[in-house]
Structure 1
Amino acid sequence: MRNINVESIRAPLVSEQNVEVVERKGLGHPDYICDSIMNQVSVELCREYIDKFGHIMHHNIDKGMLVAGSVSGRLGGGEINDPMRIIFGDRATFQADDTEIDVEHIAISTSKKWFLDNLRFVDPSIIEYQVELKEGSAELTDIFRRGARILPANDTSAAVGYAPLTLTERMVFDTERYLNSEKFKKDYPESGEDVKVMGVRQGENIHLTVAMPLVDRFVSSESEYFRMKDELLDIMNEFVNNYAQENYQPVTPSVSFNTLDMPGRGLGGIYTTVTGTSAEDADCGQVGRGNRVNGIIPLNRPVSSEAAAGKNPVSHVGKIYNVLTHVVADRIYQDVADVEEVYVWMLSEIGAAVDIPQIAAAQIRMSQGSVDSVGEDVKEIIDSELENIETFTQDLAEGKYPVC
């Protein structure tokens, strides 16, 4: 019934390639903020739609943007001149069966809660919120009224996922999560949330370039900034060296930190912020410009072009297949013997049920044995995951799978 293809891949493992480049945009990065907020708005809308109508209605909150504000930075504590602005864009269902949904309130209240929960020094009450969500088109909206247990795809779209993550990919991801962990922020409150980690592995050497602002209320002078910076850099180097040892990998990691800094130039030569995020005055953000759904930007890998964050989780294959391909790839890697690396591809056809892709394909590199010997096991895993897609999409609707 399902068109599933399994083949061998002859390309070298990413971990065996001489050069590997991986990026992660962290919690306070403007692009991450957009992805995370818009996806949470989708989760909250799903909850409201199910409560009011018994099922999820048409929406896609995936055209969001964060417009940077302006501040007057000052050692010892600066001030905000113009606040950030969050723009919510694309489509939602505002009314059905004579019942209205206050989409604007859900979008704004969800955004405010996200800021309260995630960014210590951002006051959500002064942020400007611009809701530009409109009703969807007749045909795409009708998908949700056709009564099908599993909805048709609302687009012809392709996605790809893979497993396992390389050491470089995991190190980049976990370094950002460490720097933005609750304990780290408690121990080093001067560290801002706008953490970006760029990793490059060349042979057995991994170098991470970290950008992370210091919050100016904790910095009394330029010399104090550089003292704090040196302390934080030592901690980062200790973390990545321990990380390599704990993973039993014969690599030599190193870190550089805030490399634009230049002593003697005052605020122009140091990276400080008032709120912990560059969105206050330096960088705007946009949905889809940040991490892929597995939390990194892996430049050595094929990746999906769709922005998953904010899309509806029951008919938009740009979200469903984006996440599902990674889930399926991980299961194949975990459950099928001797699989060294696997890529899973899925292609939808608009109007066809989301559990029946045009094609689902697995490309596999084996450590020993042949792909033919495991082909049926792989097909069975792919088929079972598609067979249970209704449960998967419900979990996606509840936000159980991260998308950034």
Structure 2
Amino acid sequence: MHISRTMTPVQDLPVETVERKGFGHPDTLADGIAEAVSLAFSRACLDGAPGAVLHHNVDKVYIGAGHITRRYGAHELLKPAVVRINGRMSASFAGEDLGIERIQAEAAERYLSVFAPHYRVGESIVIEPNATQHTNRPDWFTPKSLDDVPDAKDPRASDTALCVAHAPASPTEHVVRELEYALWDWSGDTPRPRFSDVGQDVKVFGWREGRTLDVTACVPLLSDSVASHDAYQERIRHLESELQGIADTLADGRLDVRTRVNPTTSGEGYREYMLALGSCIECGEEGVVGRGNALNGLINPLRPRSMESPFGKNPAYHTGKVYGHLAQQLADDVHERFGVACSVWLTSPNGFPLLPPRNVWIELAPGEGPGDRELTDFVQERMAAFQVPGDLLVQRFRR
């Protein structure tokens, strides 16, 4: 394990920029559906005859290309959006069909019912299971027994992949992420939209210079609820005022925040951000896995980012997924235990034992944190306690 003390925390930089693509953004929907399908399949494997997570990767989900026209108070559906679940998935075990098309379709529909609640499967959106078993490895996706699933007994790094995580979130990151979360009601078993007239394809962008944070939030109104341009502008002003109050609370005096909502909606050439069903997949836009938020739910170009997108990949052995979760857990644990900002880097060469990682790098700010031996002992203890795949088979809505 390598320890360095050369990190400059992002909150100490003179400028910081952070973005979050909201839950209804096409790319975030693709990430979420891929993850939902992977977790549903993994649970089915663990609960059924295999008793172990079989080979699969559905990390190429495509979503989009619908067509809906809208006007004040109404909309018209011309073409449904499509969810195409691309990738590979084990279709059988010991000759028994696993029903993977049903698993894919049901998992995608459940996810859409939460994060794209105005869409109706079979009407405004179509789900197309498309996972194959094409491979040059015999029985890799049609195992006759667990002998054909060597990863179940001896997990190995499936790829040479680098994953990195950071803790804690900077004040800017906290405001940007939580501001989008504030558009949801988290009081029940699953989140629900907080406002009945607001869509889910939200993007929040923060630009900080010194202590001043400018936040731009693009928030769609649902066209059926908007009677006129004047009504649109009035609702946006009210929404901007409410989000400004939330942002001030989130900043907690650490930053001076100015929040703007849909700033291009006045003056010559204004453009209203209205959607019929809440996501731009309805007007031809498209989303694919890996183009959006990192595992922590943010896009921060000033922080190093993992080389792998974890969404839809096998939680039992895929390096880019397991190390992504492990790196974040270690970063959180180090911060909580020692009260320091840190970054954690993990990698292993392809084919090496998955756990523990072959290479571990912990980066701290100069002069901060525990001694090298104390930190090494703590990190090794936390890595030894990490469980795969149990820890990963938890739906984390607040991603």
TM-score, length basis structure 2: 0.91
Q: Distance in 2 between matches of 1:129 and 1:160?
A: 33
| CA apart distance, 1:374 | 2.0
Q: Is the 8 A contact 2:25 2:279 kept in 1?
A: yes
Q: Distance in 2 between matches of 1:401 and 1:78?
A: 33
Question: Cα deviations across residues 317-373 of structure 1 (Å, max 9, x unaligned)?
Answer: 11111121111011011112xx532111111222112103221111111564xx6x5
1:376 is aligned to: 373
Residue in structure 1 matching 2:166, options 153, 162, 165: 162
2:260 is aligned to: 256
Residue segments in structure 2 that go unaligned for 5+ positions in a row: none
Residue range with higher mean Cα deviation, 123-132 or 212-221:
123-132
Q: Is the 8 A contact 1:168 1:206 kept in 2?
A: yes
Q: Is the 8 A contact 1:57 1:144 kept in 2?
A: no
The 3-state SS of whatever aligns with 2:341 is: strand
> 1:134 is matched by which residue type in structure 2?
T
Q: Using a 3 Å threshold, how does the CA distance of structure 1 residues 22 and 147 change in structure 2: closer, same or farther? A: closer
Residue in structure 2 matching 1:62, options 55, 59, 62: 59
Q: Distance in 1 between matches of 2:260 and 2:192?
A: 20
> 2:86 is matched by which residue type in structure 1?
G
Report matched runs for 1:3-402 at 5 Å.
4-9=1-6, 11-50=7-46, 51-126=48-123, 127-135=125-133, 137=135, 138=137, 145-146=149-150, 149-181=153-185, 188-245=195-252, 248-249=253-254, 251-262=255-266, 269-336=271-338, 339-366=339-366, 368=368, 373-389=370-386, 391-396=387-392, 398-401=393-396
The 3-state SS of whatever aligns with 2:86 is: strand
* Matched residue count: 388
Q: Distance in 1 between matches of 2:178 and 2:161?
A: 31
Q: Distance in 1 between matches of 2:375 and 2:389?
A: 21
Q: Which structure has the highest helix share of the two?
A: 1
| CA apart distance, 1:300 | 1.1
Q: Distance in 2 between matches of 1:288 and 1:147?
A: 24
> 1:64 is matched by which residue type in structure 2?
V
Q: Is the 8 A contact 1:323 1:403 kept in 2?
A: no
The 3-state SS of whatever aligns with 1:237 is: helix
Residue range with higher mean Cα deviation, 98-107 or 118-127:
118-127
Q: Is the 8 A contact 2:52 2:152 kept in 1?
A: no
> 2:250 is matched by which residue type in structure 1?
Y
Q: Distance in 1 between matches of 2:279 and 2:328?
A: 30
> 1:399 is matched by which residue type in structure 2?
V
Q: Is the 8 A contact 1:59 1:136 kept in 2?
A: no
Residue range with higher mean Cα deviation, 278-287 or 203-212:
278-287
| CA apart distance, 1:100 | 1.1
Q: Is the 8 A contact 1:27 1:180 kept in 2?
A: no
> 1:287 is matched by which residue type in structure 2?
V
> 2:279 is matched by which residue type in structure 1?
T
Q: Distance in 2 between matches of 1:279 and 1:25?
A: 14
- Aligned identity (percent) is 25
Q: Using a 3 Å threshold, how does the CA distance of structure 1 residues 124 and 207 change in structure 2: closer, same or farther? A: same
Question: Cα deviations across residues 123-145 of structure 1 (Å, max 9, x unaligned)?
Answer: 12322222221115318668962
CA RMSD of aligned residues (A): 2.2
> 1:342 is matched by which residue type in structure 2?
C
Q: Is the 8 A contact 2:215 2:260 kept in 1?
A: yes
Q: Distance in 2 between matches of 1:367 and 1:181?
A: 42
Question: Cα deviations across residues 18-64 of structure 1 (Å, max 9, x unaligned)?
Answer: 11011111111111100011101001000111122111100011011
> 2:200 is matched by which residue type in structure 1?
E
Residue segments in structure 1 that go unaligned for 5+ positions in a row: none
| CA apart distance, 1:185 | 7.0
Question: Cα deviations across residues 242-264 of structure 1 (Å, max 9, x unaligned)?
Answer: 2223xx41x21011111232457
The 3-state SS of whatever aligns with 2:102 is: helix
Q: Distance in 1 between matches of 2:78 and 2:84?
A: 19
The 3-state SS of whatever aligns with 1:21 is: strand
Q: Distance in 1 between matches of 2:219 and 2:132?
A: 37
Q: Is the 8 A contact 1:158 1:318 kept in 2?
A: yes
The 3-state SS of whatever aligns with 2:380 is: helix
| CA apart distance, 1:291 | 0.7
The 3-state SS of whatever aligns with 1:124 is: coil
Q: Using a 3 Å threshold, how does the CA distance of structure 1 residues 182 and 223 change in structure 2: closer, same or farther? A: farther
| CA apart distance, 1:181 | 3.0
